[in-house]
């Protein structure tokens, strides 16, 4: 019985890590879309903080930031798993990126 429980825990942990990796990819996509939208406005790109503040950083049910995303990154949590993300700032020629 303990082998089954351990295998289930391992599968659950793997699923949680996959959910976090997917959320990180989604965040990177949102950053790119936001940067492009800002670039296409009349005023265009002015600074990285404007891009960061405009990105929707809500990641869905069960996924949370602790203590919250900041302009250089943060720790993303889902169930018992977490990952650290760092953020490469946007520039006038490229969007920021979450890694």
What phi and psi values does residue 10 have, to the nearest 5 degrees?
Answer: -65, -45
pTM over 0.85: no
pLDDT higher than 90, residue 13: no
- pLDDT value of position 8: 46
87 phi, psi to nearest 5 deg: -125, 125
Dig out the tokens for 32 from the structure.
């790119």
Looking at residue 2, its pLDDT comes to: 53
Model confidence pLDDT, tens digit, residues 25-76: 999 999 999 999 999 999 999 999 999 999 999 888 899 988 889 999 999 9
Q: Yes or no: say if 69 and 25 are a contact pair by the CB < 8 Å rule.
A: no
């Amino acid at each position: 019985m303990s082998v089954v429980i351990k295998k289930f825990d391992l599968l659950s942990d793997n699923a949680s890590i996959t959910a976090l990796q997917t959320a990180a990819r989604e965040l990177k996509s949102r950053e790119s879309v936001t940067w492009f939208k800002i670039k296409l406005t009349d005023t265009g790109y002015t600074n990285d903080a404007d891009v960061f503040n405009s990105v929707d950083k809500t990641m869905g049910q069960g996924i949370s930031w602790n203590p919250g995303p900041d302009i250089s990154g943060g720790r993303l949590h889902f169930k018992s798993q977490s990952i650290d993300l760092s953020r490469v700032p946007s520039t006038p020629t490229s969007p920021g990126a979450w890694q």
